[in-house]
Structure 1
Amino acid sequence: MISAFTKSFAQLPDPTFRKVILLGILGSFITFILLFSVVTGFLFDAVLVNIPWIDVAIDWLGSIATLAVVWLLFPAVASVIIGFLLEDIAQAVENKHYSNLPPANPIPWGETLVEAIKFAGVMILLNILALPIYLLFPAVNLLVFYLLNGYLISREYFELVGQRRVGVKKAKALRKVYQGRLLIAGALTAFLLTIPLVNLLAPVVGTAVMVHLFHNWRQEPKFLMLENS
């Protein structure tokens, strides 16, 4: 797993990686500017009391709350954006490290769109449900956040990567076999998503890591047994 992360970070200068990162940054920036503007505008208008210092305080508190929500939802937004570009990342990794492979089966764009929307919805919903834990239990909130989002990220990324090579059903079956190790990889990716500036690279790195793990595990007997079943 350490090797998978090391190789993924080392490939960041790759032109394909740079293109995806730039598109991801642009998409995330536009999304969060819109979210910040809408939410802060709504909060300010909804509780306006026409007392200058109170209105300023409300505006500041609303902005802080919105930034917290943005930080919380960043993994979901970043994962949706990267979902549309996963094929490019996976192909770039395979071209560099696994060039002897036959062509993969690309995932149809429409299917990618549906999966990305479903994934974002589930991630946002579960994080909202976990919000009381995040707010009330500071001793365990980060652990819950990383494990929850790590599970979701590893599940989505690995299945999409595997689907290109072995189809949907086998990719799901393989993910269940390796779910323990995938959870660790996903939690590490979720951790990277919470570090400023690094979080702009994390979705690309996380996707590349899943490609490496898929092909590394593909040599194991239990993997081969499921793949050939």
Structure 2
Amino acid sequence: MGLEVIKAFIKATDQIFDPQTRRIVWIAFATTVGLFCLLWLAVGIILLNTTFFAVEWLEIIIGWLGGLATATFTWLLFPTAVSAVISFFLEDIAQAVEKKHYPHIASTSSVPTTSKVLSTFRFLTIMLSLNILLIPLLITGPIFPFIFYGINGYLLGREYFELVAFRRIDTCSAITLRKKNAFQIFLVGVLVALLLTVPFVNLFTPIITTGMMVHLFEDFRNRV
């Protein structure tokens, strides 16, 4: 049952080298760099124009600590931010995959920008909220990774599959198809959760995941 997932992964990984996909990655990278530059500028202005202590050496330490905190914040969140920006282009990625591998199927209608923003916001909110709720479970020790990847795998698999499926079939049919192929979709979700924790690889994870789900969706649909 996992063979379809492996095949989909190989095809989706190859999608990274597609010109349209590379364009999306560069746009996301440049946008994220721009946003963080604005963050650095804002923090710099605040630190330069705010006096925290009357003692000069303490003020210098605060300045250095502020800069270090900003750099650490950037290092930790940069991959997540790039992935979030790429999420706005998932429709374009799905279309690129379909154009390359399934040229015989009709193009979907253009998704309004508002819908893209709301869909991305909903997805990120669910992921963030769930992982905050999982923090207390750290006390479970060695069991925690299984809980973390299991729950995130289920959620990521479900959300990405529905994102792809809703473009082609009605909601009821998409949910039925998801439940019928729940195991394969769960496997993809766990793989995605693992990839998101790997530095550099996590930059491309939304692209790989979207590609995998397009391939699996077409495979599932053709079996019906």
Give yes or no for TM over 0.5.
yes
Look up the match of 2:91. 87
Segments of 5+ residues of structure 1 without an aligned counterpart are: 43-47, 225-229
Q: Percent identity?
A: 35
Query: Following the alignment from structure 1 to structure 2, what is the Cα–Cα distance between the partners of residues 25 and 112?
Result: 19
Contact 1:158 1:214 in 2 (8 A): yes
Match of 1:102 among 91, 100, 106: 106
Instruction: Answer whether contact 1:20 1:204 (CA < 8 A) is retained.
Output: no
Q: Which has the higher relative contact order, 1 or 2, with Cα contacts under 8 A spaced 6 or more apart?
A: 2
1:70 to 59, 67, 77: 77
Q: Normalized against structure 1, the TM-score is what? A: 0.75
- How many residues align? The count is 217
Distance 1:29-1:165 versus aligned 2 partners, 3 A rule: same
Measure how far apart 1:81 and its partner are: 2.4
- TM-score, structure 2 normalization: 0.77
Is 1:176 aligned with 2:183? no
Any unmatched runs of 5+ in structure 2? Answer: 47-51
- 2:149 equivalent to 1:161: no
Q: Which residue of 2 aligns with 1:12?
A: 16
The match for 1:112 among 91, 94, 116 is 116
Is 1:208 aligned to 2:215, yes or no? no
In the alignment, structure 1 residue 147 sits paired with structure 2 residue 154: no
Distance 1:143 1:70, change over 3 A: farther
Distance 2:208 2:160 in 1: 11
Query: 1:207, 1:177 → 2: CA distance?
Result: 19
Map of 1:45 onto structure 2: none
The one-character-per-residue Cα deviations of 1:15-60 (angstroms, maximum 9, x if unpaired) are: 0110122223334445566678989x99xxxxx7878599699769
Partner in structure 2 of residue 22 of structure 1: 26
After TM superposition, give the deviation of residue 105 of structure 1 in Å: 3.6
2:115 maps to amino acid: E
Cα–Cα, structure 1 residues 121 and 173, in superposed 2: closer, same or farther, change >3 Å?
A: same
